[in-house]
Structure 1
Amino acid sequence: MNEEDLNEALHDVMVRSSPPGSMDPARAREQGRRARKRRTIAWAGVAVVPLAVVVAVGPAIVADLAGDRSASPMVAGGTSTTPTPSAAPTTRKTNDPWPEGQVDRTATAGPRADRSVTLMTDLSSLVPAGFSTPDLKYPDGRKMRWPQSQYASSDGEQDYWEYLAMIPVQKGSGVGQLLVQSITPDGKPAADPCQLAKSFWGDTGDCAVVDVDGKKVGVRTAKGSRSFDQWAAYRYEDGTVVLLAQARQSEDAQRPPLAQPVFTAQQLAELVTSPKFKISS
């Protein structure tokens, strides 16, 4: 396993740390990734800082995948504007309880859980004509559509949250997937657009900086076998970070892939700047 594989694995843990059982994509994602690794004989960032906090029987590792990544997402939906946080950020200390009465990192009910559900709905609404977002399931019965709201701070870090939604996208018999992630401001310095994009799945391919009405978006196109073929990353001035990723192949290897990407690189860059996906608290 090389450094990029290690970074990708740590990022994958970040995405899945302490997910709710009914929505946990861990097994399918892990099976798909292991299968690809075997075929090539064997997710990531500029710096990886795992969080040593034990949840249940293992570490809930939340990686600061971009040592220079400013992260961020609150309110996904329609024409709503991003509210100002009601309180100044606090710093997590060792042995602090989970916030808002949670039993682990993942919010399974309440306003924070609702935000990722809204994020999933908004992502579905942007799929172009000719594609659909059916309520498909993996062979073991788990839904391929899933949201997750997660408290992401490590010890000594400013409090911040990650909101994520994954959906399958179908055209004909082909099934791919889309993912959107919105991260609330974490107090870290800004990175250039391509470094920001690199912080999610590593330097796996070419990167282009795309201008969207004066906003600079990093768009990376993967080389080789990766969970996603292409992704765009954008950082707002307040530190909120949004990621939008697409893959022609879903995590269900039994389904054929899409014949074409859902979005062009330009469309991906434009959509990642949509106010629908900006969640800042």
Structure 2
Amino acid sequence: MNGQELRDALRTEMASATPPPPLSTGATLVAARRAHFRRRAVWASLGSVAVVLAVTGFAVVATPDDHVYQPAGQGPLAPPDASGDTKEPWPTGPDGQPQEDRTARAGSQYDRGVHLLNEVVSVVPAGYTAPEDPANQPADQRMLRTHQAQFEAKVDGVDRWSYLTSVAVAQGDRTGHVIVEVHDAGNQLPTEPCALARDFWGMQGECQVETVGAAQVGVVVRPGNDDRLDQWSAYRHPDGVVVYVAQGAKLDETRPALNTLPFSVPQLAALAVDERFHLR
């Protein structure tokens, strides 16, 4: 089985998975979708498709240049009907046809994802580099720069999206990463700064509120039992857009970890407020 066949098989498996019926409406459905979002996000830090398949069975996504990327995505919008189609179509792509899944691979949302990636690269501090992926990179190798635009839900007739980008950050032969995730206004994430921060990917930890100008930013300075990331900040803009900025000293198991995180706690808080990440 070649790489493309593997990806097709994984997508087929994901499309056929039917979630159990919710115990109640509204909040339960949202919670279930976001829990699935977090479970898939766990595997964003794994560099091997084989590990993802063997351990989780969750789908991977091929980027437009045919590399493999493990995004923090959700499952189907609704359980498939008897024909195998979702009950509600995905958003319409630039070709006038519904997307094949939650991920935009072209169009304005995709472009916002690319823009976010470029902005994250631009904030890598002096003393660190943001290495690029080599040409002709093997499809099963962990990518150093990734981005994704993902449809979340239709709220009051308006499509709501989230945008995720991960950038490897190196110092000498040591490599960590920086992640930025942005949610459109209209999301149902918490409002209180530390509740918002602790909601990121379902991770908990020791949180403190940092003041940046007039803004109050929740920053988890020390994670709990979940060590996927070392620190992250969270801010809800007045218009409802939510920005998460996270950093981890270790990119994956194949590379030595950074000795020092790229950003201090105040810097991490300031980045969550930074207008460069305020996608609208």
TM-score (norm 1): 0.67
User: Matched residues in 2 for 1:207 and 1:224: separation?
Assistant: 14
Letter in 2 for 1:257: A
Please list every run of at least 4 consecutive aligned residues from structure 1 whose deviation after the TM superposition is greater than 6 angstroms.
Answer: 14-18, 154-157
The 3-state SS of whatever aligns with 1:159 is: strand
The 3-state SS of whatever aligns with 2:38 is: helix
The 3-state SS of whatever aligns with 2:159 is: coil
- Residue 173 of structure 1, CA deviation: 1.0
Per the alignment, residue 84 of structure 1 pairs with none
Letter in 1 for 2:128: F
Matched, 1:255 2:248: no
The 3-state SS of whatever aligns with 2:176 is: strand
Matched, 1:237 2:238: yes
Matched, 1:152 2:196: no
User: Matched residues in 1 for 2:155 and 2:212: separation?
Assistant: 36
Counterparts in 2 of 1:23 and 1:230: CA distance versus 1, 3 Å = farther
Q: How does 1:9-24 map to 2 (within 5 A)?
A: 10-13=37-40, 19-21=61-63, 22-24=66-68
The alignment covers a number of residue pairs equal to: 218
- Once the two structures are superposed, residues 163-209 of structure 1 have per-residue CA deviations (whole angstroms, 9 ceiling, x without a partner) of 11111000011100111011111253752001111111335210001
Per the alignment, residue 109 of structure 1 pairs with 106
Question: Percent same amino acid at aligned positions?
Answer: 31
Per the alignment, residue 126 of structure 1 pairs with 123
Per the alignment, residue 95 of structure 1 pairs with 88
Q: Which has the higher contact order (CA 8 A, sep 6+)?
A: 1
User: Matched residues in 2 for 1:129 and 1:172: separation?
Assistant: 13
**Structure 1 residues 198-207 or 268-277, which shifts more?**
198-207
Per the alignment, residue 25 of structure 1 pairs with 69
Letter in 2 for 1:108: R
Counterparts in 2 of 1:187 and 1:223: CA distance versus 1, 3 Å = closer
Bigger CA radius of gyration: 2
Per the alignment, residue 78 of structure 2 pairs with 53
User: Matched residues in 2 for 1:202 and 1:110: separation?
Assistant: 30
Q: Is the 8 A contact 2:90 2:102 kept in 1?
A: no
Letter in 1 for 2:112: R
CA RMSD of aligned residues (A): 3.2
Per the alignment, residue 213 of structure 1 pairs with 213
Letter in 2 for 1:25: Y
Counterparts in 2 of 1:210 and 1:155: CA distance versus 1, 3 Å = closer
The 3-state SS of whatever aligns with 1:121 is: helix
Counterparts in 2 of 1:272 and 1:23: CA distance versus 1, 3 Å = farther
Unaligned 5+ runs, structure 2: 1-33, 45-58
Unaligned 5+ runs, structure 1: 1-6, 30-42, 44-48, 60-92
